[in-house]
Structure 1
Amino acid sequence: MSDFNLFSAIEVELGEVERQLTKNIITNIDILYNSSVHLINAGGKRLRPAFALLAARLFNKDINNAIPMAVALELVHMATLVHDDVIDNSVTRRGTITVKKGWGNRVSIYAGNYILARSLSIVAGYNRRDLLDIMADTSMKIVEGEIIQMQSSFNVNTGLKNYLRRIERKTALLISVSCQLGALVSDAPEKYVYDLQRYGYYLGMAFQVTDDILDLIADEEILGKPIGSDIRQGVITLPALYAMHNSKHAKELKVALASSEICNNNTQEIIEMIKDSEGIDYSYYVSQKFARKAQEQLNKLPDVPE
């Protein structure tokens, strides 16, 4: 097994990001503090701050200036997760209870709003209008993506274009912006900022397609939540889209995926029909295609400064 660690060059800075996440929840209201730090304490991959730091590291050896931005990006991501769990009525995330389960809907909404406001406050500390505009615009587009997904729930007539637009707003956008903002705080040349932005976009698309695959085939303990969550919530992902058009179970699948009752009562049967259709293999092919596009963008970037 390879000992390669993508984040080895930024381990110290990532450790500081972890410390700063909790420090930036500044409130004397116990219920707001406890609910806000709950998801932070549950851990996570910290991909968005990591990519911001890596992007900054391409243009400066000292990347301490990028740490507040990395913290802000993770806080935005966490705010969206807290709100998502209310919308989806989720009870577990990252192997522990959700804020929604522990504190209820009202506190969850307030906590998510508070975390988002804290992230914008951190970005404002750079005194750069361009950074704040990007973060605000990103936050608005993420919300638009959630609305698009909500309107598409249990809609078996949704197509590939709708799916790609949803995952772009849901996942790819914030990873793309993480790379973009990391480069900007390091004063990278405009060309490289664009290349990194596109790299993050393609990587984020690959990541979300892979996540949609894992929702059907992963071990629940490793995934940190029950499999089939997308099906139960009426979210039509790429494996299901493929199956509805290329499976001997196509008609049966369309009926099932259009029904909230069937999706919740017969989740495993639906998963088996999707797996039988080669929808998993097709989705893996698509994720690899996005990953190759990300690699192409990466090849345009400079070497890490000595």
Structure 2
Amino acid sequence: MKLKDLYSFLKRDLQQIEDQLAQSVSSEQTLINTAGLELLKAGGKRIRPVFVLLSAQFGTYDIHQIKKTAAALELIHMASLVHDDVVDDADMRRGRETVKAKYDSKVAMYTGDYIFASALKLMTDIEIPRAHQILAQGMKEMCLGEVEQIKEQYDTDQNVRKYFKRIKRKTALLIAMSCQLGAITSKADIPVQKLLYDFGYSVGMAFQITDDILDFTASEKQLGKPAGSDLKQGNITLPALYTIQRFPGFKEKLNLYYENGDETLLSDILKQIKRNGSIEFASAISDTYLNRAKAAASGLPETSARESLLKVADFIAGRKF
């Protein structure tokens, strides 16, 4: 089963969101317009809009309003990826050339800024002050997370607590906001909004940990980028942190790789991580967050939307690529 099969009943509403995204990234400036449309063609799971739509079903569901919140959150996600690719000097994403690689870093940065601004403009149609306060605070936190990632790049002395704080800001927060803002836009009850935020946060943590596992276990074809890319770029994730803490000499080996870039040494490092129990350890942590998400969802009204949320959560936290 594919992810899209789990929410096929949302197909018509998701198409409205796609149309809204295309309208929002369009520009009279040819270069930004072309880059924005290419990003849309690259696709993506559209997880955040799906969570907005499902969460909105716990209130008064009006697709003409909900699609604006959903599109705005996806635009913020898209913009953050464009900026990430500049920071990481990445040439490929989802098997396609990045905006940075196809044009240059300056074009990529301004394209990302334009998409961010488009998201904010779209949200002005949602006349709920609390929604704007949550979105603004969330974007501030996301920026802090990105700066933390830069600061902690290549730092083999960092601890697991810093890692969790970083992935909260980098990934979990936007998924949590997608659930929360979907509920707020549809004026769902406040206790329901809180449960959906908790659900989205835990799903987001499980999702990012799974992503970090796949960087070691999936193939280049599955990932759309070379396996081990995160570690290569100095982003030290949970499996590597587990190995550093439990296997003497590994930290020195990793530092040596960062000093000389020896690909043979990198291959040895990746093999060690895959075989030493770190993948199983990280998977267990991901499962813990997934169980927390299910616990939050158990407090929601028993509806088809709740069942769909749980199915999507199971899929994205347990996927193999």
Q: TM-score, normalised by structure 1?
A: 0.94
- Secondary structure of residue in 2 paired with 1:301: coil
| Equivalent residues, number | 304
Q: CA RMSD in A?
A: 1.9
Matched with 2:100 is: 100
Give, in angstroms, the shift of residue 263 of structure 1: 5.2
Aligned residues of 2:75 and 2:119 also touching (Cα < 8 A)? yes
d(CA) in 1 for partners of 2:199, 2:266? 35
Match of 1:251 among 242, 249, 252: 249
In structure 1, distance between residues paired with 2:142 and 2:256: 25
Asked if the contact 1:72/1:120 (under 8 Å) is kept, the reply is yes
1:291–1:258: structure 2 CA closer, same or farther, 3 Å change rule?
A: farther
Shift of 1:90: 0.4
The residue type paired with residue 98 of structure 1 is: T
Query: Which residue is 2:40 aligned to?
Result: 40
- How far apart, in 2, do the equivalents of 1:22 and 1:198 lie? 31
**Take 1:126 and 1:196, find their aligned partners in 2: how far apart are those partners?**
19
Residue in 1 that maps onto 2:140 = 140
1:242 and 2:242 matched: yes
**Contact 1:59/1:305 (8 A) holds in 2:** no
User: 1:262 Cα shift?
Assistant: 4.4
Partner of 2:274: 275
Indicate the percent of aligned positions where both proteins have the same amino acid.
Answer: 37
Tell me how far 1:2 sits from its aligned partner.
9.4
Counterpart secondary structure, 2:103: helix
How big is each residue's C-alpha offset from its partner over 1:261-284, in whole Å with a ceiling of 9 and x where there is no partner?
A: 445633322111111221001001
Cα distance, 1:300–1:111 mapped onto 2, change above 3 Å: same
Partner of 1:169: 169
Counterpart for residue 67 of structure 1: 67
Change over 3 Å in CA distance of 1:4–1:129 after alignment to 2? closer
Contact 2:26 / 2:37 at 8 angstroms: preserved in 1? Answer: no
Contact 2:243 2:250 in 1 (8 A): no
Post-superposition offset of 1:61: 4.8
Tell me if the contact between 1:231 and 1:264 (Cα under 8 Å) persists in the aligned partners: no
Aligned to 1:24, the other structure's residue is in SS state helix
Q: Partner letter of residue 215 of structure 1?
A: D
Partners of 2:236 and 2:48 in 1: CA distance? 25
Is the CA contact (8 Å cut-off) linking 1:246 and 1:277 kept in structure 2? no
Instruction: Flag the 1:182–1:3 CA change in 2: closer, same or farther, 3 A.
Output: closer
The offset of 1:12, in angstroms, is 1.4
Contact 2:62 2:186 in 1 (8 A): no
3-state SS, counterpart of residue 289 of structure 2: helix
Aligned 8 A contact 1:56 1:63 in 2: no
The alpha carbon displacement at 1:4 in A equals 9.3
Q: Distance in 2 between matches of 1:4 and 1:46?
A: 9
- Rounded Cα–Cα distance in structure 2 between residues aligned with 1:243 and 1:108: 35
Residue matched to 1:292 = 291
Indicate conservation of the 8 Å contact 1:100/1:108, yes or no: yes
5+ residue gaps in structure 2? 306-321
Partner residue of 2:54? 54
Deviations 1:70-90 (A, max 9, x none): 000000000000000000000
Instruction: Provide the rounded CA distance (Å) in 2 between the counterparts of 1:61 and 1:11.
Output: 15
Comparing 216-225 with 205-214, greater Cα deviation is found at: 216-225
- Check 1:297–1:241 CA distance in 2 against 1; reply closer, same or farther (3 A cut): same
Over 3 Å counting, the alpha-carbon distance change for 1:23 and 1:181 in structure 2 is same
CA contact (8 A) 2:239 2:279 kept: yes
Q: Deviations over 1:20-40 (max 9, x none)?
A: 211112311101111122211
